[in-house]
Amino acid sequence: MAKKETFICIGCPLGCEVTLTIDEKGKILGFAGNKCKEGEKYVFEEYTNPVRILTATVLTQNSAQPLLAVRTSKPILKTMLAQGAAVLARTKVKPPVRVGDIIVPNLLDTGVDVVASANLSS
Amino acid sequence: MKLQDIDVAVIGAGPAGMAAAIRAREAGAENVIIMERAEELGGLLHQCVHNGFGLLYFNEDLTGPEYGNRFIEKVMDTGVKPLLETMVVKLTEDRQIGAVNAKEGFITFRPKSVVLAMGCRERSRGALNIPGSRPSGVLTAGTAQRFVNVEGFLPGKRIVILGSGDIGMIMARRLTLEGAKVEAVVEILPYIGGLIRNEVQCLHDFDIPLYLQHTVTQIHGEERVTAVTIAKVDADRNPVPGTQRKIQCDSLLLSAGLIPENELSLMAGIRLDPVTGGAVVDETRQTNIAGVFAGGNVLHVHDLVDNVSWESELAGESAAKFAMERDLGEKGTINLKAGTNIRYIVPQTISGQRDTTLYMRVNEPQENVRIKIGDIMTKTVRAVKPSEMIKIELSSEKLQKVNKETKEIIVSCEKRGGK
Ligand code: SF4
């Protein structure tokens, strides 16, 4: 039995609703609804490897600023976002921190670091 | 630097003000100051911890603080002088600035040119007119953003968001990841108010329900919000009887549009465009007052910060030139008029002598269109939406087609025929 899954392409303001047909082994059989080739590329990525940058804040110690903004240095699988956020909710940092400093190395074994988005002084 | 010697004074140190000040220095203005009421440079970028900034400007996917930081460093490197915790309270039609701060009290001076970069503010509940009591727990999406991202507490645990502007959708994701439950995003229009990537990455990714053509008809609760009633609306945006449903929640976030902050401009007698809420400018971003320029969200609300930076650089460059030469050459004498399905065009006037980028927005979503700039040029576009700004480059070569007598060029967005 072939399965169908729909995606909204974010390639342009049109936002085509693209329907993907997938066979029982998960192989892509076809695309429908995309008004240009970009849509196929986007949906292929979203189906095989949907990734996002995780952004959050972490608590600080010894700083007048209660929070520090952080991000993953590269996108991670979107299914990991909630777990990643939970790790960051337990993370604390102390000044000084500079933009780009590693806050959590290798987040949840993704191979991606969480880095500071901002500076932190005491 | 003495106050009497200031060439360019920039009001506001958000992305617009920083870009304008940096460019004014780079363009040769000697004494450039940037006046900011907060205690640091960067404006709202500090609280926008999400990514999606700089994709066009830096070709990188940056967060708000990272984007801001690059400009803050450049402000320092280029020798712009920041005047922090200083609030500009007065601007006159002959470019006198009055400001207050704790150190010097009231200061007043007359720079050679001024750049308005005050940004915008959120439409608040008063402007929205929702019936019901006045319990706590009703706040704008931007205020919630400051609570969560800067001050470090959640405004609530069960949240309804009214309006699908970008900040609202971004806060839906942020609050979800921080452990709150976003029960619904409610939008009165048949389409979202923000960017499509935010609908997908902030709402769909987290299965947050989006109710299009719905609105909040009542807020329940005495001390604190306990629920809201939402209802479907008809084509005239009136609630349809019998479609009400009550959603339990403890907070209602408002994300229903932004308004350019132009009190100072009005005080100085700057002419505003009733549609954009910002000043009427020509392609140098000069307002009707000689030597006063504007750029960024104070001029018109942008969808991307990258465009804010570019536009403000233009304003900064013009301000520097005015400060040094007292003259910018040809003035904007040709009016750009919004035709079919065009809501506004910035700049509103052009001289026809320089390369110009036109920024515009449409009234209604439309597919397969041709945007016509009078009979000078046309551009075909696959789709247009009110939430996404359209940018069209108009070269001075193309403008040579314009007859010297021309007073008005109509810009329109029309369906492409023959299909
Ligand atoms: S498929 Fe093509 S036309 Fe449709 S939204 Fe994506 S980029 Fe735009």
> Residue B68: is it exposed, middle or buried by C-beta count within 10 angstroms (0-12/13-18/19+)?
buried
Q: Is residue A41 part of a domain?
A: yes
- Domains: count for chain B: 3
Per residue in B381-408, pLDDT (tens digit) is 988 999 889 999 998 888 888 877 888 9
Question: So what's the pLDDT on residue A93?
Answer: 97
Token pair, residue B130, equals: 């929702």
Nearest to B384 by CA among B311, B305, B303: B303
- CATH number (domain holding residue B137): 3.50.50.60
Which residue reads 């849509």 in tokens?
Answer: A39
Distance A34 CA to ligand 1 centre (A): 6
Instruction: Provide the residue range defining the domain that includes A18.
Output: 3-49
Token pair, residue B98, equals: 């009055």
Write down the ipTM of this complex: 0.92
Share of chain B above pLDDT 90, in %: 83
Q: Which of A13, A67, A82 sits opposite B149 (nearest CB)?
A: A67
- The whole-angstrom separation of Cα B217 and Cα B228 is 8
Instruction: Please indicate, yes or no, whether residues B175 and B230 belong to a single structural domain of this protein.
Output: yes
Per residue in B332-357, pLDDT (tens digit) is 789 999 999 999 999 999 988 889 99
pTM of the model: 0.93
- Domains: count for chain A: 2
Contacts of B49 in chain A (CB under 8 A): 55-57, 69-71, 117
Task: Please state the length of chain A.
Answer: 122
**Around Cβ B55, how many Cβ atoms within 10 Å?**
14
For a pocket test of ligand 1, which of A16, A20, A43 has the largest count of ligand atoms closer than 8 A to its C-beta? A16
B349 CB-near residues (< 8 Å, 6+ apart): B280, B281, B282, B283, B332, B333, B334, B335, B336
Q: How much is the average pLDDT of A32-49?
A: 93
Instruction: Please indicate, yes or no, whether residues B114 and B11 belong to a single structural domain of this protein.
Output: yes
Q: Which of A14, A53, A70 sits opposite B61 (nearest CB)?
A: A53
DSSP reduced 3-state for B372: strand
For a pocket test of ligand 1, which of A9, A18, A41, A46 has the largest count of ligand atoms closer than 8 A to its C-beta? A9
Mean pLDDT of chain A: 94
Distance A1 CA to ligand 1 centre (A): 28
Question: So what's the pLDDT on residue B1?
Answer: 67
Question: So what's the pLDDT on residue B419?
Answer: 45
Q: Do A55 and B50 touch (CB under 8 A)?
A: yes
Instruction: Please indicate, yes or no, whether residues A60 and A42 belong to a single structural domain of this protein.
Output: no
Question: Which atom of ligand 1 is closest in space to residue A12's alpha carbon?
Answer: 8
Instruction: Please indicate, yes or no, whether residues B153 and B246 belong to a single structural domain of this protein.
Output: yes
Instruction: Please indicate, yes or no, whether residues B252 and B266 belong to a single structural domain of this protein.
Output: no
Instruction: Provide the residue range defining the domain that includes B372.
Output: 335-418
Give the chain A residue whose CA is nearest to the CA of B368. Answer: A14
- The whole-angstrom separation of Cα B13 and Cα B38 is 9
Q: Do A81 and B177 touch (CB under 8 A)?
A: yes
